[in-house]
Amino acid sequence: MTVTDALLTDLYCLTMAADYLHEGAADDLVTFELSARADRALTVAGVHEALAFLEGLRFTESDLDWLARQDAATFDAPVLARLRDLRFTGSVWAVREGTIVPAATPLVRVTATRLQATLVESPLLAATNYPVRVATNATQIVRAAAGRPVWDFSMRRLDGLGAAHSAARAAYLAGFAGTATTAAARDLAIPATGTMAHAKVMARGRAGETRVFCDGLRARPAGATLLVDTYDTLQGVRRAIEAQRLTGGRLKAIRIDSGDHATLARAARGLLDAAGLTDTQIILTGDLDAERIAALVAAGVPAGVFGVGSQLRGGEPLSAVYKLVEQPAENDPALRHTMKLSPGKINDPGAHQVTRRPDGTHVLHLAGESFDGEPLLREVMRDGARTARAPDLAADRVHAAAERDRLSPTGLPPLERSPRLLALRARLASAADTEAADDREEPAMPAETALIAVDVQHDFLPGGALGVPGGDAVVAPLVAAARDVALVVKTRDNHPAGHCSFAEQGGTWPPHCVAGTHGAELHPDIAALPGPLLDKATTLGADAYSGFDATGLAALLREAGITRVLVGGLATDYCVKATVLDALRAGFDVTVLVDAIAAVDVEPGDGERALHEMAGAGAHFTRGWGREDSNLRLTDYESAALTN
C-alpha cells in the first residue's frame, strides 16, 4: 500500500516551503536527519515506505487549487508553479532495514534542496515511526518465542486500515512467519494464515460445536485449525478430537485464545497425545507480548505457534524527529552545523555516519570521519531514484535474523559519540551561551574553562542502590559553577546488566546504574545543564571510574580549547578522584569544588585521604563557588587552601 498524496503532510511544511521560495532560499542544498528518542534498541523499518513516498511525490491541479483557496498570498502563482513541477531529486542514506541499533541513531539522512527536504518532513516521520515501533516489538517477540513461529494477527487492533499493511511488513521483516492480513500477504508476497472466529462456533451454539468442527475438517482437507475456547476450552479440545475421529480429516492445529494459557495448553497436549494426534499443534493467542511469551517458553508450555495482535503495537509511540543538521554557511560554523538547544531536545550538529565497531558498539560521528568497523548509513536513493542498496524485503529479513542472533541478552550498549562530534557540540553550545551572556550584558567565563560533573546519578544519591551520604548536596554548587564556565561535561556510569563490578559477578558493589534504569539517570538539575553527556563503564567485562576512561573526554576538551577544569560530583574517593588524577595526567589545570563532592567512605577517612592524594598530584581546591559571599574566583584558585 503506497501513499503518495502530496498534501498528506502538516500545513507548516507547505507554508515554510513557500516562504523559502519567496526568500530565495528554496534551492539551498541542505541535510536533514531522522532519528528516534527512545529507551531501547530499535529495529530499523519503514525505509521502503519512505522511499515509495518520495518516488511518487506529485502535486495535482486539485491540490494546487486547494492551496490557493486556503491562502492566496502564501501560495501565489510562482509558488504554485514550482510545486506543479516538483519531483524529489535528492539523495537518501538509511540504515539497512532489519538492523538493530541503539536509540538516537540517525535512521535516515536526506540531502536535497531546502524546498524538497522541508516538504517531506511529516511524511517521512509517518512512514518510519510506526514500522520501527512494530519491528522493534516484533524483534523482541520473535526472540522470546525461541524458534517457535509467530504470526501477525494485529489488523483489527491497529490504528486504521492503512496501519495493517505497514505492520505486516515490519513484523515479517523482523521475523514473524507471516500475516493474517490478506492484502499485505498478496502485495508483499509473504505467507498468509487464518483460523476461525468464535462467531463460527456461536452460530450453531454450544451443542453444535462438534458439527462446526466436522464441517471445518471436511472443508479443508489439507488441514484445519479449530478454535476451541468459545465455551469450555478442554471440552472444545475433546470435541475437536471427536470431529477428527468422525471425519478422518487432518487436525492441523487447535487455537486457544483465552484463559490460563499454560494450564490449558498442557492439558490440551495431554488429550491430543492420548488420542494419537501428536502432530497437532497448539496455537496460543490473546494479548500476548514478548514478556508473556518468554514466560510460557521458559515454563516449557507445549505451544507450537503464537499469534500476536494488539501487543504488536504495544508500548509508547516512538518520538522520532527530523532535524536540519547541515546547510550552506561556510563562514559561520554555527549556521552551517545546526544544533537545536531546547532542553531535552538537543540534536547532534552536522551530517553523520554511524559505525558499528568490531566489538559491537556503535559510534556516531561526523560524515567525514572514518572509524574501524561497518558504516551503517548506506545510500539508498540518488537523484530521486533508488540504488541497488534500497530495501529488499526477502534479503533484509535474512539480515534481520542475523541481527537477532548477534544481539546479546542484555541488548546494545548506548550510542557513543566521537570526540570531534562532542567537541563540535561543545563549541556550538558554548557559542550560544556566550551570545546569551552578551545579550544579558554579563561577562562570560574565559573559553578555556570547563566543568566536569561526575556521576550525579540517582543510584549514587541518598536512597539509591549505592547512595552516597550527603550526595544530594553536590547538586546546587555544581549548578552554580555551571553558570560561569564555557563548557559543562557530564559523566555517568551506564553499566550493562551483569557488569563485572557487581558483587553477583565477583565485583565490589551492588548492582547500580544499569543502562535504561532510573538509577542510571542524572539528577534532573544536572541533566538540564547544557553540554555533552559521556557514558563510561559500558563494557560488560571492564570497569571504569574515571570520566576519561574510554570516553574521548581529553580529546573533547582539547578540541574545545579547554585548558582548565573544575571537577565535582560523586564520589570523592572513587570516580571524582580517578577523574581528577586522569585530568592532571592529561595536562589540564584542575580545581576540585570541595562543597560539590561527597565520599562513600567504605573505610573511615577514605574521602579525606582522596583529597590529599589529589592535592599531592597537583590539584587545587575551592569551596563556595558561585556564592555571593565567596571571594574565590578563577584567578584565586592557585592560592586557595585545601579544606575538608
Confidence of residue 375 (pLDDT cuts 50, 70, 90): very high
Reduced 3-state DSSP string for 358-408:
CCCCEEEEECCCCCCCEECEEEEEECCEECCCCCCHHHHHHHHHHHHHHCC
Cα 416 to chain centroid, rounded? 13
Q: Which one, of 543, 548, 489, lies nearest residue 513 by Cα?
A: 543
257, 348, 433, 455: the catalytic one is 455
152, 575, 577, 582: the catalytic one is 575
Distance in angstroms (rounded) separating the CA atoms of residues 603 and 574: 12
CB of 70 closer than 8 Å to CB of 62: no
Cα 410 to chain centroid, rounded? 15
DSSP codes joined into one string, 91-145: EEEEEPTT-EE-TT-EEEEEEEEHHHHHHTHHHHHHHHHHHHHHHHHHHHHHHHH
CB of 118 closer than 8 Å to CB of 21: no
CB of 585 closer than 8 Å to CB of 553: no
Q: Residues 267, 270, 276, 278: what is their CA dihedral angle, to the nearest 10 degrees?
A: 90
C-alpha cell at 129: 515511526
Which amino acid makes up residue 108? Answer: V
Q: 12-26, 161-175, 315-329: which has the minimum mean pLDDT?
A: 315-329
Distance in angstroms (rounded) separating the CA atoms of residues 192 and 178: 6
Residue 636 pLDDT exceeds 80: no
Cα 395 to chain centroid, rounded? 24
Residue 630 pLDDT exceeds 50: no
The mean pLDDT value for 111-115 works out to: 97
Greater model confidence, 402 or 543: 402
Q: What residues contact residue 591 under an 8 Å CB cut-off, 6+ apart?
A: 564, 565, 566, 567, 619, 620, 621, 622, 637, 640
C-alpha cell at 297: 517458553
Instruction: For the chain, give every domain's residue range.
Output: 135-313, 418-639
Residue 295 pLDDT exceeds 90: yes
CB of 37 closer than 8 Å to CB of 108: no
Q: What is the pLDDT of residue 317?
A: 80
Q: What is the pLDDT of residue 440?
A: 47
Angle at alpha carbon of residue 28, lines to 24 and 34, rounded to 5°:
125
478442554: which residue's cell? 234
The mean pLDDT value for 96-124 works out to: 96
Decide if 536 is catalytic.
yes
CB of 291 closer than 8 Å to CB of 264: no
Confidence of residue 629 (pLDDT cuts 50, 70, 90): very low
Q: State in words which class domain 418-639 has.
A: alpha beta
Question: 135-313: CATH homologous superfamily?
Answer: Aldolase class I (3.20.20.70)
152, 484, 513, 536: the catalytic one is 536
CB of 208 closer than 8 Å to CB of 240: no
Residue 424 pLDDT exceeds 60: yes
pLDDT tens for residues 166-215? 999 999 999 999 999 999 999 999 999 988 999 999 999 999 999 999 99
Decide if 500 is catalytic.
no
Decide if 13 is catalytic.
no
Confidence of residue 439 (pLDDT cuts 50, 70, 90): low
Q: 263-277, 361-375, 511-525, 614-628: which has the minimum mean pLDDT?
A: 614-628
